[in-house]
Amino acid sequence: MRRLWRRLRLRLMRVLELFSGLGGWRYALRDRGSVLAAYDVSEAANATYALNHGQEPRARELATWPARELADLGADTWLLSPPCQPFCRMGNHQGLSDLRSRAFRHLMDLFPQAPPDRLVLENVGGFLGSDAHALLSERIRAHGMHPLDLQACSSRFGLPNQRPRVFVVASRRPLKALPMPDLLPGPLAEFLDAEEDERLYLPPEVLARHRHGLDLVVPEDRRSTCFIGGYGRRFVGSGPFLQTERGVRRFSPSEVARLLGLPAGFRFPESLSLEARYRLLGNGLSIPVAAWAIDHL
């Protein structure tokens, strides 16, 4: 019994959650391990994380993270979602040359000094084949780990929302891709708030201006496009809008949270603006997809 308990304990991951945002990796981790520390520069992200997870992330600029701090933490697993703009369809595709990749580059410099035993990195499709992907794969192999590249979309996981993402999973033991679920998503109606917030309806002049570019869905639909961080500010190409008998409205932050698979108790600090809520959600993970990626370890 004691040996079994010891083996189980050894398999529990000791996690660093890097670029932690609202803490999607921590939800996806479930009981597979514990988060030793989370890191993010954003005050709004850290306040939301602390409210939901009861642990304050470290407000550290990761581009200047000291190697000693990393080594002292004694983590064996990295779960990370570096900024995706350098690899986005709508970004500039500058990969490692983009300033927003500085923190990722620094992590790759630190990697040889305190390599983890396992990691999962999440990003957008454009990451695959980029210079950053090549650098990460090189670091993984140079430290005797085995990488596995995965592509998955939340629409296969029973959620009526598309969020195509890539995951680079790596471990000291060879990895095999797990079967991907193929669950029929429920209708959007199941993800809507019991009471609508009238302020989410678009004023007639805004609707007239953007009507042809808007991605309109109805509650019966079982699919919708990806929400991005600019959903609160932009109309075209930022995510779906709901057509009801009363007009056209944005999805509320709590509806977006449900469509990402965040748990029912998830909430934002009262003081956080609507825009900031959408930004955090638009940067966030689809929880069941991230959990599936972790299950490869």
Ligand X SMILES: C[S@@+](CC[C@H](N)C(=O)[O-])C[C@H]1O[C@@H](n2cnc3c(N)ncnc32)[C@H](O)[C@@H]1O
| Interaction between residue 283 and ligand X (CB under 6 A) | yes
3-state secondary structure 205-273: HHHHHHCCCCEEECCCCCCCCCCCHHHHCCCCCCCEEEEECCEEEECCHHHHHHHCCCCCCCCCCCCCC
Q: Phi, psi at residue 99, to the nearest 5°? A: -60, -30
**What string marks each residue from 59 to 78 as x (binds ligand X by CB under 6 A) or -?**
--xxx---------------
Under DSSP, the state recorded for 162 is -
Cα separation of 289 and 151, whole Å?
Answer: 10
| Residues 83-102 within binding reach of ligand X (CB under 6 A) | 83-84
Span near ligand X by CB under 6 A; candidates 81-89, 137-145, 189-197, 235-243 = 81-89
Interface pick for ligand X out of 16, 21, 57, 253 (rule CB under 6 A): 21
Tell me which of 32, 36, 41, 172 binds ligand X, using CB under 6 A.
41
CA-closest candidate to residue 170, choices 86, 108, 84: 108
- Closer residue to ligand X, CB minimum distance, 19 or 241: 19
Chain position whose Cβ is nearest to ligand X: 21
Q: Which residue of 13, 24, 130, 140 would you call a contact of ligand X, by CB under 6 A?
A: 24
153 flagged as catalytic: no
Helix (H, G, I), strand (E, B) or coil at 173: coil
Give the integer Cα–Cα distance in Å for 200 and 242: 10
Residue of 29, 45, 135, 148 that binds ligand X (CB under 6 A) = 45
Token readout for 86 is: 């350098």
Among 13, 15, 16, 19, binds ligand X (CB under 6 A): 19
Residues that bind ligand X (CB under 6 A): 19-25, 39-42, 45, 61-63, 81, 83-84, 103, 283-285
Residues involved in catalysis: 84
